[in-house]
Structure 1
């Protein structure tokens, strides 16, 4: 397929000579003006009286409704992409066409889209993880023709029941298919989702005259090309244009309301203090982004204690609570939500006054997408980045959970056969954690090597090739994006131009001036100084040690298969434990990460003080009477010195260290079943604890909780009544 016309509003639709009995036949040249009038009426319902479509919006609608073409729209946030597809959906429905299917990635986005559809008298329904009880009724409404627009999550496209009973009906009768946030289709995109690539199957099964619209605000040249290849909505290899060519609308990405700035505050606790003292001066209400769940929760706690009306919004937030929090922000009942990327694409608050990042995302493209939430209907919005030296460590951690090596992937295929195997059962056969295993299965499903069926997964027997070059290229691209984000923080040039260049903005080459709004263009930056009272308050809150270590309650599936006769409920493990802090904490995280990165040595006084505070605040049912160290392969002096010091301070009996046999290999397994099997049950308890005693078991780092679980079983088996894990840190 070729590209017709230049980018932006100059791109022209091609008038087809089509005798179809739907819209195309009814909309000969004289009728196009009437159709445009009707489209403006629908826009007024969406956006208010007097609203009128811009020419480029009408170009897209006309191409979809009249000419039944495929279109790729890459336009900035706030351009009006949702107006295009809702108006097109209504016009097609009025002409007797089937419902529009919108593939949408986030619950927040779906909720906003349903509300917008209702304003245009479009009957919209959504199928997602938050309304499971409504699925059957919605499926029936679709079959009965009672839905104009169906919004589905990409994950639903491969649900066996949906795929077999609903998807064929939609592919046959759909009036329009929309792929929103289409950069998710591309693994070069900043938010690639394997489920999105299943959209290829849906598009391939469509009739020739069913239009397809792909939309995104964040796609550079490489992502645009990949989306085009995935969905068949891009340029042909020879670049030729013909009457069946795709319309590409790609506009400029400058946002006149955004005022970008970077503020450098070295200490993570002082960054929280800076935000607490400056939040009130930021316009309206907004979003504060953090890189991790614990950082978001810490920030929210600091801001709340300083009198700000805020709430945390993360992947741990219950779906019903998320909806309430979104409404609170929309109605300005909170100054801000302190969020992870769980609140990102599609959240629609046109008057959002600011976006602040405490910690930088790993990609300028991802950063542009998040800051694009602000200033859509305001003259000025503040965009502030507070980067930290620990950001790169967090980026490296997330990069470590990328697509695994070929040997591991082939092990997944080899573990499957003709009989369905569930994902939990696969965990006992392949050493991958649940999230990575699910990602691999999804990619293999899209590639045709495996298939999801009722009851789990099966192998298809089709030949599969590991794309070494592509995955190596992805790794390089991610590294380059991280460096570009560091360059953005340090650049002395226009920050908006920098972001637009990262996104290959087609209008940038014709412009020579900076935005005139960012801190570099104006020379006007916010003061980075931190008020000492605010700093003390933030440090007091963030320096309070103590987080829970949840106790493992259930053995992972499949351990007997790995030679361990353990299954069901864990009745002889540890109680809930405590750690001084998380490695991702804003307060303790930096010090704990630095300590664990240093050579082994006895515990510094500040760490012992932190442990003492944890013990003081621990509301245990039975006070511990003894303490033992769990031998650490990397920090034995550190852990044993903690046990000795606490035994002396708390007048506890000091027991010899508990350890695994030295001839066992290090524990490296990723998933729970393999990890438990690798840890094993051969722990040495040199001295039996007093019968019926309660033991503090000191360790350095708790990651999965399985090592302390297995060690606690050994200590209890030697005579202890209860074991309380006590750690320097947890991973998250």
Structure 2
């Protein structure tokens, strides 16, 4: 780089590159130029906290173009979501910047992409945070990229901080990357959702590897002048769903309807399609290729709305998105601000409406239960890895610790970043380095999450300006009344729903029946727990696909079932008649190959009266004999993960006489009844026992499935 830079000429060139990116009338904002200048001229590290739609991506694309003009290496962008990557590859092309990606969806292209980077043909490489700790990428690709990088960009930088609303452990690998960057390589971090605590945390991390230079922080006002916020309380789930079906055509353009759970997203989308609306569900279970098609359809206005979980969040950019609605309140005002920021980027008005539900707080508590585990559990993981003679894969480690797969992966990532374990080919190994559980920090994080939940409840009831409320939560010093929301104007959405629409919605929500899938494979590592169960489950011992009345996460039957199955003093009670009637409807519509010839109940330690009563009522109504009960023996098994669950269940049930004799005499399927299905292993183990005792087939039936 030359010793002096013609800043005026550089700014004119920057304006030219911006017009290529954003259109002939685009002009750089002063803070955009301040960030670009800091990166290109001063080679500093900068944190830009600006509202969605402000133009943060323009900063790094223009800076990349200028740095490449000056002969610098490619820009590395660490980006959290594939939607963001796809949008930004297209945006970069408009600015004459060649961008490429390395992520889980294009594995077959990695080698070609890496060759293009090495040949200098790629200006921007977008990398998912998960790649940073992939052993091959980390050890063979990342060092060369780091050495040649012209600019490092950390997009959605609040993910770096465990105080952020969407903290991701993989992002913590950036701490190591920042210390390994050659001197003089500029770094840009961007986000729209960072309060003072997150800004301080991210700024500290950006300073890693720098002896004296301070990070430049550019924070702007977070108002979104196109957004018109409101809250509409409706008395029931059917009223909310009916209201949505009735009012969806009245909303301008196309938009997003957010839900808190996958089950709700699927259910709402199915109902709206039945009512003639062009909608589609988008969740964490949606396949990558289908996600891309859905995003394309929404961008092209081929659908009226996408019914989505938070899986459709950061990175999706549609400038004319006309509305964002929430069926259920997110657990954090900051998360809510981030999601509504998808709307109104390029239009004068966008409607933002929140329809809270009675079940919201209960769903928040469930997700909170998946937080970082206690010290004893984490220490156990570390001890197992340090004692192992060779690296252990996640599946091999899982049976040895009391953690589900998802929580185990989070623990491993945190321990990895802290230097206590290391991911290598073949799995994970302990490093032998000392590690201390920061209980005080985790407690403060939990307290912060609880405070956010209370703030969300306060938002629902607040009479102050809604946008101001959200901006205060983000510590925006310029927070002021917006003059547009329902509280500022006194103009509110009508909660009126026609009787016909509410009735149709209620009928849909009360429509009973969901399928219970079958387990086909035993968990890995069972012999290490003393259970000789390996590979595929023998077809002669397996259950058939089953049915349940509903999901606990449904907005229809879920509410009723959560009340019935909630832990507490009222655990064991008779089955209400409306529940029995609904179960009969599920059984009547079941398209089984052969009708069951008898009923068996699953033995319970807590709900004996409930389960036996349900079996007896169904037997009486269906004229099916009660063959008996699979007896519960021993202590209740642990529920930490699949392997330990199976080990605990293996000897937890028994088929005693006279049930065994009756099973040996039946000539058709038996209906196996339980209160709920969580992991599915109880049904799998008890069905195996019934099949071994002579049952030709087992049809599982439960009141509820957990998800």
Choose the corresponding residue for 1:101, options 62, 76, 85. 76
Counterpart-to-counterpart distance in 2, 1:592 and 1:455: 43
1:223 aligns with 2:198: yes
Q: Which moved more, 1:254-263 or 1:128-137?
A: 128-137
SS at match of 1:584: coil
Alignment of 1:442-461 (within 5 A): 442-461=413-432
Alignment of 1:143-154 (within 5 A): 143-154=118-129
1:671 aligns with 2:649: no
Partner of 1:549: 516
Counterpart-to-counterpart distance in 2, 1:139 and 1:415: 36
Alignment of 1:4-403 (within 5 A): 22=1, 25-27=3-5, 31-232=6-207, 244-403=213-372
Partner of 1:526: 493
Q: Deviations over 1:365-399 (max 9, x none)?
A: 00000001101111111000001111010000000
Contact 2:98 2:124 in 1 (8 A): yes
SS at match of 2:139: helix
Q: Please, which runs of 5 or more residues in structure 1 have no aligned partner?
A: 1-21, 237-241
Counterpart-to-counterpart distance in 2, 1:631 and 1:418: 41
SS at match of 1:428: helix
Q: Please, which runs of 5 or more residues in structure 2 have no aligned partner?
A: none
Q: Which moved more, 1:558-567 or 1:691-700?
A: 691-700
What is the root-mean-square deviation of aligned Cα atoms in Å? 1.4
Contact 2:638 2:644 in 1 (8 A): no
Contact 2:207 2:214 in 1 (8 A): no
Shift of the 730–520 alpha-carbon distance from structure 1 to 2, 3 Å rule, reads same
TM-score when normalising by structure 1: 0.93
Alignment of 1:711-722 (within 5 A): 711-722=686-697
Q: CA deviation at 1:682?
A: 4.5
Partner of 1:583: 552
SS at match of 1:498: helix
Q: CA deviation at 1:266?
A: 2.3
Partner of 2:605: 633
Contact 1:123 1:147 in 2 (8 A): yes
Shift of the 322–253 alpha-carbon distance from structure 1 to 2, 3 Å rule, reads same
Choose the corresponding residue for 2:462, options 491, 508, 516. 491
Q: CA deviation at 1:656?
A: 1.4
Partner of 2:626: 654
Partner of 1:643: 615
1:420 aligns with 2:398: no
Shift of the 234–460 alpha-carbon distance from structure 1 to 2, 3 Å rule, reads closer
Contact 1:225 1:234 in 2 (8 A): no
Partner of 1:19: none
Q: Deviations over 1:275-299 (max 9, x none)?
A: 1111111111000000000000011
Q: Deviations over 1:164-184 (max 9, x none)?
A: 111101111100000000000
Counterpart-to-counterpart distance in 2, 1:320 and 1:599: 44
SS at match of 2:3: helix
Give the number of aligned pairs: 695
SS at match of 1:25: coil
SS at match of 1:461: coil
SS at match of 2:610: helix
Partner of 1:17: none
Counterpart-to-counterpart distance in 2, 1:480 and 1:245: 31
Choose the corresponding residue for 1:474, options 445, 456, 464. 445
Counterpart-to-counterpart distance in 2, 1:136 and 1:303: 44
Counterpart-to-counterpart distance in 1, 2:235 and 2:702: 27
Counterpart-to-counterpart distance in 2, 1:258 and 1:405: 41
SS at match of 2:632: coil
